[in-house]
A and B are shown apart, each in its own frame.
Chain A
């Protein structure tokens, strides 16, 4: 049982390049989330998906797009990476309303 799997684990991009962060879960959870974590700022919500086919903006959505391909997969795309997007990105799933989140292992992204 892998839980929440994120790929890649590490990535270095040049400014202006694009990439997609992948997240897949085998926990059969409806809700999925993308957070970024920066030193001193805690975890900030980028986008979330309450169910297959729906996505909504979180606190810091600018510069990102998401796709909820099916119940298992929720991807995060950077169309034109900027140094301000250097961060650690976490995907998470939620067991139910007001329940805790379960996190993937994270993707460490550096934009130069």
Chain B
């Protein structure tokens, strides 16, 4: 089992809709969770982080964390074509004797007008 798993997509949503991106992780001890956005040919950009169970909202973005189910999600409301990018889920895990930030392979989101 991969340490951080995401559906590769593409996830296609119409403009104005809610995009829902999902991520599962294997380390029950993980405490810190991040969502990065990566446009093609660019570096990852942090858009959300969450440490506690429940929801965290920032503008059009909502991160949801359920530690019991080892599940973290990102909702994007009122999706715009400019949201079209790959979204990377990242989780701090303790593995191989050290803490490391593990990334999922990413979900490609396409928002069409």
A residues lining the B interface (CB < 8 Å): 33, 35, 40-45, 48, 56, 58-59, 90, 94, 97-106
Contacts and interface: CB of A to CB of B under 8 A. Distances in A.
A103 B92 contact: no
A44 B100 CA distance: 10
Interface string B87-113: 010101000101111011110000000
B31 interface: yes
Interface residues of B, number: 23
Interface stretch (B42-50, B56-64, B66-74): B42-50
Contacts of B90: 100-101
Interface of B is mostly: strand
A98 B98 CA distance: 12
Given A35-B103, A101-B101, A103-B43, 7 more contacts: A42-B4, A42-B106, A43-B88, A48-B100, A94-B101, A100-B49, A100-B90
B17 to A, nearest CB: 26
